[in-house]
Amino acid sequence: MCEPLRLLGFVANNLTALVTFCRYWYTTGGVPSFLKIAMAGDVLSQAEVENLLNMMTNVGPQPAAAAGGGFGLGRDISERSDPINKTSGHAWAPKEKVQSYDFKSPDRVGKEQIKTLQTMHDGFGRKFAAGLSAFLRAVVEVKLTSVDQLAYSEFIFGLDNPTCFNLLRAEPLEGNLILDINPSILYPMIDRLLGGGREPAMTARRPLTEIEQRLVLRVTKMFLQELKHAWENVVDLEFEVIQTESNPQLIQVVPPNEVVIVLCFEVALTEVRGTITLCIPYNSFERIAGKLTSNAWTGYGSKKQATPQTIKRISKDVRNMKALVKVKLAESKMKMHEYINLRVGDVICTQKKADSPLMVSIEGIPKYWATPGKYMGYTAVEIAEDIEDPTNIIAVE
C-alpha cells in the first residue's frame, strides 16, 4: 500500500497527471517500472512530471508480475470481476433472465391451482349450458374464458353500472362470494322468459324491477346448483343469495387491495353474447387451496372399477326414482272471444296432422318420438324413435 500512496503524493500537484495516472492504474492493474525509478527522489520537477506523462501515454500494459507485489500489482485485468472487461471490451451478460414483478398484484394462487380451477369449471360450463337451454327453451352456450387473480378494486372497476351484482354466502367458506351477470346477456334472458321471440332484445341501462329480480333469481339458483356439483369433490358448499344490487360500488366485500380470483364465463344466447363472472376472495379460498393440488385432484379424477355391490345399489336407486313424463299432443291459437264461447262438445282444430308423431319429454327435456293409441283400455303412446339432438327441438319451439 505504501508504494502507490507515495506515487499519488508525487503527482497530486498536477490534476491532469492524477487523472491520467488513475486511468492507467485502472487499465493495467499495476505501476510501470519507469514510475518506480522516478520515485527515487522525494520531489519531481515540472519537466520530470511532463516526461512521466508522455511515457505513460506511449507505454502499454506490462506483463503480470510475481505474486505478492502489493495491492493491485501483478494481476492481469482479465482476472478482475468488473462488469466490463477492459481487455476484451465485451460486456458482462447475466446468466439468469430477469422477470418483472408487480407488487400491487401479487400472485398468491399457484399455477397448479389455477389449472385445477380451469378443469373443474370447464365441465361446469357444459352442464350449466344444458340446464339453461332447457329452462329458456333456446340453445345456450357457456364457455369458461379466463381464470385470473386481481385486486378487488380492479374487479369492481371492470363491472358495468347498473348490473346484476349478487352477494353470496358459501358455507363453510369464510366471507362472501360475488356473482355478476352482465346486462348484455341478462335482459335477453328475461325477454325470453317473458315470451319474447328470437330477435335479440335491446339492452336496457336501468336497475331490475321486482318481477325481473324474481326471474333472474331462478337463473342464479340454477348456476349455484351446478356450481355446487362442480365443487362437491373438493368441498361440500351450501350457497345462499344474501343481497342483490345494481351498483357494484355500494358493496365492499374485501379491502380494495385484497387479491380475488375471478372466473369469467361467456354466455351465448342465439346471436347475443355476454358474461357471467364469479369472484372468490382469497381469504375465502385460502382454507381449501391445499385441496386443489395435483395429488388431491388426481385422486378424484382417477377412475376405479365399480364393485358388484356398488352397481347393485345404484341400479336399485335408479329404478325407484320417479321422473315426470309429458306427451305433447298439439298446439293451437285462438282469439279471446272464441275461448270465452267454448262449450262442451266443441272441436278445436290444430295445424298438426293426425298421423304426425308426438314428442315425449322427460323432466322437460325432449327424448322420444311416439305414436298415439290405446293399451288395455287406457290412452297410451308407443315409442317410435329417439330424439338425437334435443337442443334443435328446443330452438324450433
Of 166-170, 219-223, 245-249, 301-305, the one with minimum mean pLDDT is: 301-305
Residue 11: what pLDDT? 47
Residue 351: what pLDDT? 80
Check which CATH number belongs to the domain holding 143 and give it.
Answer: 3.40.1550.10
pLDDT digits (tens, 9 = 90+) for 118-138: 888 888 888 899 888 888 888
Residue 49: what pLDDT? 67
Q: Are residues 134 and 206 both part of a single domain?
A: yes
Q: How far apart, in whole angstroms, are the C-alpha atoms of residue 10 and residue 21?
A: 11
Residue 76 amino acid letter: D
Q: Which residue has the cell 328470437?
A: 198
Query: Is 309 inside a domain boundary?
Result: no
Q: Which residue has the cell 315470451?
A: 195
Query: Is 87 inside a domain boundary?
Result: no
Q: Are residues 145 and 69 both part of a single domain?
A: no
Q: Using an 8 Å Cβ cutoff, are 119 and 297 in contact?
A: yes
Nearest of 253, 81, 289 to residue 180 by alpha carbon: 253
Q: Are residues 124 and 254 both part of a single domain?
A: yes
Q: How far apart, in whole angstroms, are the C-alpha atoms of residue 367 and residue 388?
A: 8
Burial of 203 (0-12, 13-18, 19+ CB in 10 A): middle
CB atoms within 10 A of CB 344: 4
CB atoms within 10 A of CB 267: 24
Residue 361 to residues 29, 133, 352, 388, 390: CA-CA distances in angstroms? 93, 14, 18, 13, 10
- Which residues are 366's β-sheet partners? 361
Query: Is 86 inside a domain boundary?
Result: no
Q: Are residues 229 and 298 both part of a single domain?
A: yes
Query: Is 314 inside a domain boundary?
Result: no
Strand order in 164-171's β-sheet?
A: 140-151, 259-269, 272-281, 176-181, 164-171, 238-245
Q: What is the mean pLDDT of residues 195-208?
A: 73
Give the residue with greater pLDDT, 177 vs 389.
Answer: 177
Nearest of 251, 260, 280, 263 to residue 178 by alpha carbon: 280
Helices within the chain (DSSP H only)? 2-11, 15-28, 33-38, 46-58, 111-136, 152-157, 183-193, 210-231, 282-285, 294-301, 308-319, 336-340, 390-396
Q: Which three cell numbers stand for residue 270?
A: 342465439
pTM recorded for the entire structure: 0.51
Q: Are residues 162 and 229 both part of a single domain?
A: yes
Nearest of 282, 263, 264, 286 to residue 274 by alpha carbon: 264
Q: How many domains are there within the chain?
A: 3
Residue 278: what pLDDT? 92
pLDDT digits (tens, 9 = 90+) for 62-82: 444 444 444 343 444 444 444
Q: Are residues 228 and 350 both part of a single domain?
A: no
SS3 for 25? helix
Q: Are residues 377 and 289 both part of a single domain?
A: no
φ, ψ at 177 (rounded to 5°): -105, 165
Residue 76: what pLDDT? 44
Give the confidence band of 328 by pLDDT, cuts at 50, 70, 90. confident
Q: The domain containing residue 137 runs over which residues?
A: 111-304
Q: Are residues 291 and 329 both part of a single domain?
A: no
Q: Which three cell numbers stand for residue 276?
A: 357471467
Residue 158: what pLDDT? 87
